[in-house]
Amino acid sequence: MACRQATERLKAYEIHGIDVSHYQGNINWETVAKQDIQFAFVKATEGQEMRDKQFAVNWKAIDKTQVKKGAYHFFRPSISSAAQAKNFIEQVKLKPGDLPPVLDVEVLDNTSPSTLRKGMKTWLEMVEQHYNIRPVIYTNLKFYQDYIQGHFDGYPLWIARYNYRPPLLSGSEEWQFWQYGNRGRLPGIQGNVDFNVFCGRMEELEWLCLTGE
């Protein structure tokens, strides 16, 4: 599937979602919620200081719908991972029923793979300790195969592969979320939006979410 083509919804999956940032501008979440969208991941932070300017608006608006919400952090391997975790924690307040935090890992930023993984480990452990839930790792299939595979077994995975065929992971690991296209169109959102699916049923998605314990 060429990324220049409009992304069509995959009908073989029960649970559908999107992910957004300030690039989508002002979103009508009440309209989005009527389009068979069960979850949405929202960009919260990037690096040590950057905070997405639409995060607070999106976060509050999603709460008025039945859409399950989650927040993600874009990771910069060349910057202190502890400072990045602090940036995310200060910005994102989770409540029972919310999806786990997400670490978005897509670049090396001129660091080594070992530096990347060491920083990831710090961020993941700090965030898990704070929220008492294991974070999700987001990355594209090639980046996962080149740098992450075999180093973070047991973490929920959200894999980007723009294709109508699902990503295949070697070993025992399986993806929970699949971002299958970046040119989706939905009423309530101007322009393109990423389309995702969850591998499972609604009760399994709820099991993945934050509990009140």
Among the listed residues 19, 46, 104, 194, the single catalytic one is 19
Among the listed residues 30, 36, 49, 106, the single catalytic one is 106
**Six token digits for residue 109:** 């930023």
- C-alpha distances out from residue 89 to 41, 83, 131, 159, 192, Å: 16, 10, 9, 23, 29
**Six token digits for residue 7:** 């992304």
Helix boundaries (H) for 34-173? 55-62, 81-91, 113-131, 141-143
> Which is nearest to 57 in space by CA: 100, 20, 94?
20
106 is catalytic: yes
- C-alpha distances out from residue 198 to 39, 40, 85, 147, Å: 9, 11, 25, 23
DSSP 94: -
Active site positions, annotated? 19, 106
